[in-house]
Amino acid sequence: MNEPQQKWTETIEANHTLFDLKLKEVWKYKDLIYMFVKRDFISSFKQTILGPIWFFINPILTTFTYLIIFGRIAGLSTDGAPQILFYLAGVTLWNYFSGALIGTSSTFTGNAAIFGKVYFPRLVTPISIVISNLMRLSVQFLLFIIVWAYYLAKGNIHPNIWMLATPFLVVLMAIFALGVGMIFSALTTKYKDLTMLLGFGVSLFMYATPVIYPVSALVGPFKKLAYYNPLTGIFECFKYGWLGVGDFSPLMLGISTIIIFALLVIGVLVFNKIEKTFMDTV
């Protein structure tokens, strides 16, 4: 005898589409974002001797390492800009992008315990990571400004109006790190070894980005491929605006912007799809 089919009196379903960023809901949790940012800042330097001073030590040591290896030994061109300032500009931007990308990529795996206990918009976590790294960028950018002012007073650099595009460049880097980070955060819920691959890939990606060399130093197909690196337009615009050197064109920045926003859309799609079921695989 067949049992009568049961009818549900209430069905609970997600009420947002894959393209929905739930920004209004995220704004309601702005205090939680602040708490996450504060937590990340404190935990980064907990039980350290020098604390936030590492914000300065890291770019200084990295810059001098590049100066010796790529400036003195390899003799790479800096388009006539002071080598210390050229490398410091690249290091400052790269530290922000790489830190935000690697941090965002572990959104699901690193916060599974929290996600499994309480509800809040999952987008809160990657946004807080991007903002946390923005605080570090502001401190390291202050160091860059000090060195930049020294060379400006000596007349070694000739900045131009493109330096005013810096806030837009930072936003582009944040969006790029957020988009790609969300893609990897979704993939690492099933394939955890991608976390190690990402760290290696980010290191290689730095050498495909004009951090330690200008685009003008590239020739042939390498120069053409560099235009399709989303970070190329950002780094070249920054150096062109602040140092007055580089092979920069608005087209280069336009290509970067289009690619970055396309990656953001893909990241949102993947992130929203995986967040519904990631607890089953983490």
Across 207-226, average pLDDT:
87
**Nearest-angstrom CA–CA distance, 190 and 108:** 11
Position 57 scores a pLDDT of 85
Q: Which residue did the predictor score with more confidence, 14 or 234?
A: 234
Position 90 scores a pLDDT of 94
Residue 16 has pLDDT above 60, yes or no: no
225's tokens: 């491929």
Residues 178-203: pLDDT tens digits? 999 888 888 877 777 777 788 888 98
Residues 222-232: pLDDT tens digits? 888 888 899 99
259's tokens: 């690619």
**Nearest-angstrom CA–CA distance, 64 and 87:** 8
**186: exposed, middle or buried (Cβ count in 10 Å: 0-12, 13-18, 19+):** buried
Average of per-residue pLDDT values in the chain: 83
What ranges do the domains of the chain cover? 51-280
Residue type (1 letter), 157: I
Residue 238 three-state SS:
helix
Of 11-15, 96-100, 161-165, the one with minimum mean pLDDT is 11-15
Residues 136-182: pLDDT tens digits? 899 899 999 999 999 999 989 999 999 999 999 999 999 999 999 88
Position 12 scores a pLDDT of 46
Query: Please, which pLDDT band fits residue 115 given cuts at 50, 70 and 90?
Result: low
